[in-house]
Amino acid sequence: MHRVVITGTGVISALGHNTADFWRALITGTSGIGAIHGMDEWQIRFKNGAEVLDYVPEEHFAAAEIGFMDRFAQFAVLTAREAIAQAGIEWTPCLRETAAVITGCCLGGRAVEETGYWELFHNGRSRVHPLTIPLSMGNAGASHISMQFGLEGPAYTISTACASSSHAIGQAFWMVRSGAAPLAIAGGSEAPFFLGNLKAWEALRVISKDTCRPFSAGRSGMILGEGAAMLVLEPLEAALARGARPIAEIVGFGMSADASHITQPASTGAARAMRLALRDSGLAAEQIGYINAHGTATEVNDRTETAAIRCIFSKHADQLAVSSTKSMHGHALGAAGALEAVASILSLRHGKLPPTANFLTADPACDLDVIPNQARTCAVEACLSNSFAFGGLNAVLAFKAYA
Amino acid sequence: MKVVATSKRIPIENVQPDTSFESLGIDSLDRLNILFDLENEFDIEINDEDAKQVKNMREMIEGVTQLVQAKNGSSPAE
C-alpha cells in the first residue's frame, strides 16, 4: 500500500483558465456567476450561470484537433496539461504504458448531439455530422487525454451525475494506493450550457433566478457551472524520488447509495459515505478541520447535508468549518467534485479556507460554521470533500495536509 | 383533477377537491410532473414560488383557474 499525494492540478472554470486564477477568486470570495450568453431568445425561467468566459479553442489546440474535440473534451485535455506540467512528470516508456486516466462527466459532449438533431428536426436535413458520436461520447475526455500524452494504461469514465469526478478521483486514489497503477490523471469535465439541457434543468425547478447562496436563508436554488479540473496522483515515494513537491495527500475515499429516491437525498446515505471516507483514511473525526460541502443551495440538499455532518461529527461539528465553493464556480455537475477537490487541497496547502459566497443570513436548519463571504486564514490538518448525486449516489474524499 | 389522476396513475374517484397532495402520496418529483402536465394541458406558466404554496387539490384548481382567466383576459379580442 502506497501513500498517495497530489503533485499537480489543472483547472478551467468560471473563475479563470488555470489553478492560480481559480484559487485567487476563491480566497477573495469572487463569484463567477453571471448572465448566460446566447440564451436571451429562449425564455428560460432563469438567466444566470457560471460559464467559462473568453475561451478561445485556437489558443490551445490546432485546427485539426478542435474538429475532433467538443468543448468538454477540450477542457479535460487543457486541465490535464496544466496538472501534468505542474507535477513535472518525466514520462518513461514504462510509465506511459501503465499510467491511468480516470475522468468523470455527466453530460459529455451532448451539446454536439443537440446541434445535429436541430438540423434533422428543424432544418429538414437528412444527415448529422459523422463525428457526432465520437464528439459526444462521455469518455471522449479520457480518450483525448490518453492520446495527447500517449498513456496506455487503464482509462475510463465514470458517470454518477454530480458525484462523477469524486468517484473518478476516489477510484484513481485506490488504484495508485494499491499499486494497480503507478500514476493517475483523474478529475472531471463538463460543458452544460446548451438549450436542451438548460430547459431540462428549468423543468426540475431547482435553479435559482438570482444567484447561488448555499446554507443561507433566502437561497433559491442552484446555479449551473461549467469547466474541468484534473489532478495528478502518484505514490509519495515516487514523487519525493523525483524531487516533486506534494500539494497534499489523499488519504480516504468513501461511497454509498441512498437506495431511497431518484432526486430526494437521504442524510443517512451522505453520512455513511463520510463515515466510510474517514474509516478508509484512518483519520479520527476530530482531525477534520474543514469540509468542502456539496452545498448546492437547494433547500433539501443543504438541510440534509447539515444533518449528515452533525450525525457523523456530533460535537466536533461545531468546531468544523464548512463551505460551499459552488457559490463561486457554480455547480459544474460531473466536474464539480474535481473542482472542489482542488479547492480542498489548496486550502490545506495555503492554510486558507474559501468562503461560502453570496451568504445573506443564517438558516436555523443549516447551523454550521459555513465561513460566510470572507475567506479565513486557518491551517487545518485534514479535510473532506463531499459529493452527493441525483439518484442517491454519494462520494466523499479525504485529504491531509502534506507538511 | 383528471390531470392529477392521470399523472399519478391513480383512480379519479380518489381525487376530490379537498384531497391533500400529502394524502395522495405526492412527493416533490410528482409535483414537478403535475406542474408540467398542467402547463401543457392549459397552456399556462406556473411560477415556482406560487406552486410551492399549494398543498391540496382545491388550491391547485384555484391557482390554475386564475392563470387560465388571466391568460384569456389578456389575449387580444378576436
Average pLDDT over residues B31-55: 89
pLDDT averaged over every residue in chain A = 97
Helix B28-42 and helix B57-74, axial crossing angle in degrees, nearest 10: 30
pLDDT band of B77, cuts 50, 70, 90 = very low
Is the model's pLDDT at B27 over the cut of 90? Answer: no
Q: Which helix (H) or strand (E) holds A233?
A: strand A227-235
Give pTM, 2 decimals.
Answer: 0.94
Is the model's pLDDT at B6 over the cut of 50? Answer: yes
The nearest alpha carbon in chain B to A263 belongs to B29
Is the model's pLDDT at A216 over the cut of 70? Answer: yes
Q: Is B27 a catalytic residue?
A: yes
Give A194→chain B minimum CA distance, Å. 21
Average pLDDT over residues B57-75: 87
Q: Are A108 and A138 in contact (CB under 8 A)?
A: yes
pLDDT for A295-331, tens place per residue?
999 999 999 999 999 999 999 999 999 999 999 999 9
Beta-carbon neighbour count of residue A365 at 10 Å? 13
Residues on chain B touching A392 (C-beta within 8 angstroms): none
pLDDT band of B25, cuts 50, 70, 90 = confident
What integer pLDDT is reported at residue B74 of this predicted model? 66
The nearest alpha carbon in chain B to A202 belongs to B48
What integer pLDDT is reported at residue B76 of this predicted model? 52
Burial class (CB in 10 A: 0-12, 13-18, 19+), A398: buried
pLDDT for A275-299, tens place per residue?
999 999 999 999 999 999 999 999 9
What integer pLDDT is reported at residue A199 of this predicted model? 96
Yes or no, beta carbons of A45 and B48 under 8 Å apart = yes
Is the model's pLDDT at B75 over the cut of 70? Answer: no
Residues on chain A touching B28 (C-beta within 8 angstroms): 263-264, 300
pLDDT for A238-276, tens place per residue?
999 999 999 999 999 999 999 999 999 999 999 999 999
pLDDT band of A67, cuts 50, 70, 90 = very high
Task: Give me the interface pTM, i.e. the ipTM.
Answer: 0.78
Q: How far is CA A276 from CA A198, A304, A341, A383, in A?
A: 34, 18, 17, 14
What whole-number distance in Å separates Cα of residue A293 and Cα of residue A265?
A: 14
Which residue in B7, B28, B33, B44 has the most chain A C-beta atoms within 10 A of its own C-beta, making it the best mutation to test that interface? B28
What whole-number distance in Å separates Cα of residue A205 and Cα of residue A333?
A: 16
Q: Which of B18, B27, B30, B43 is catalytic?
A: B27
* DSSP code for A222: B
- Record the cell numbers describing residue A343, joined without a space: 479547492
pLDDT band of B78, cuts 50, 70, 90 = very low
Query: Where does residue A252 fall: left (phi above 0), alpha (psi -120 to 50 degrees), or beta otherwise?
Result: beta
The nearest alpha carbon in chain A to B31 belongs to A204
Is the model's pLDDT at B11 over the cut of 90? Answer: no
Yes or no, beta carbons of B29 and A45 under 8 Å apart = no
What integer pLDDT is reported at residue A221 of this predicted model? 97
Average pLDDT over residues B18-36: 88
